[in-house]
Structure 1
Amino acid sequence: MFITEEDYKVVIGEVALKVISQVSPKNRANAETVALEEISGYLRPKYDCTAIFSARDEQRNKLIVTYACDIALYHMSASMPQKMGSEVRKERYERAVKWLEGVQAGKIVPDLPLAVGEDGLPSGNSFVYSCQKQLHHNW
């Protein structure tokens, strides 16, 4: 999987992770899958999500890893009784989504592999600027 046990230590303690995941590897795996798909929804139009999420160890973008952890924890906390610790999770989730929206809008440009078409050129939200030839109406 893209997210490791070590990655969570940046955003949550080991004991708290066990509590929030309800000590179920299945709960954690489901939340991580949802988080990666949510991130892909924002990045897919411009970036190569397959390359982003197949990277391992030091090749992974640390910010994407952190936000993937935050989003996964947010989804795991939704199943907690009385929404324990949901304020922190909600704040971190909203920060992650705000960053992803900034990337999607082109205001933030992360160091991620671009999606390329069959011709090897970047695809997605690429703009080509040009203008028509100026018309001269001399009658």
Structure 2
Amino acid sequence: MAFLIETDYDVQIRSEISKIIDPSTERTKYKKAEAMAVSQMRNHLAGRFDVDAIFVDAPGDGEEDLRDPFIVMLAIDITLYHIWTKEGPNNIPKTRELRYNDALKWLQDVQAGAAADLPIKTDEDGEEIGLMKVWSQREPEDQTY
């Protein structure tokens, strides 16, 4: 299975444009671009977050969708940007470029420590891992003048 399914794209791209971009029934361009987008997102989030819990397979018929809608939206934005850069690097729609830059900025902010409502990595005991905690026996000193 894959993280994104064809119907996920209906919100952001018209089906006739989607078919022009990738007329094949196998949707190979979309699958390759999606793999790149998910890999890019996993690399940004892997330090603090449980990426295996974030990037679960898309639901099948009658199954509950466990994917975070915001992460799905970002994955679509990044996927469509990657498709456009191959198809027409000089003719990328401004909307695609803006949405990609917004997605990338959010990923960079989260990687730098901004808050995100995503599952944190934990060890076998349920303790959070990936976050640095500093302990000291000494009281903090005030170094102001």
TM (norm. structure 1) is 0.83
Deviation at 1:55, TM superposition (A): 4.9
> What do you get for the CA RMSD once the two structures are aligned?
2.0
The one-letter amino acid of 1:105's match is: A
The answer to whether the 8 Å contact 2:85/2:92 transfers is no
Deviation at 1:4, TM superposition (A): 1.2
The answer to whether the 8 Å contact 1:20/1:73 transfers is no
Q: Unaligned regions of 5+ residues in structure 1, if any?
A: 135-139
The answer to whether the 8 Å contact 1:77/1:83 transfers is no
The one-letter amino acid of 2:43's match is: G
Is the aligned partner of 1:31 residue 2:33? yes
Deviation at 1:12, TM superposition (A): 1.2
How far apart in 2 are the matches of 1:107 and 1:53? Answer: 20
How far apart in 2 are the matches of 1:101 and 1:82? Answer: 23
Deviation at 1:68, TM superposition (A): 0.2
1:114–1:83 CA distance, 2 compared to 1 (3 A): same
Matches within 5 A, 1:77-96: 77-81=84-88, 83-96=90-103
Deviation at 1:82, TM superposition (A): 6.0
Q: Secondary structure in 2 aligned to 1:117?
A: coil
Q: Secondary structure in 2 aligned to 1:9?
A: helix
Q: Unaligned regions of 5+ residues in structure 2, if any?
A: 60-64, 140-145
Deviation at 1:22, TM superposition (A): 4.8
Matches within 5 A, 1:1-139: 1-23=2-24, 25-57=27-59, 58-81=65-88, 83-110=90-117, 112-124=118-130, 126-133=131-138
Deviations 1:24-48 (A, max 9, x none): 6111110000000000011100111
The answer to whether the 8 Å contact 2:33/2:83 transfers is yes
How far apart in 2 are the matches of 1:62 and 1:8? Answer: 12
How far apart in 1 are the matches of 2:52 and 2:97? Answer: 27
TM (norm. structure 2) is 0.80
| Percent sequence identity over aligned pairs | 33
Q: Give the stretch that moved more between structures: 80-89 or 96-105.
A: 80-89
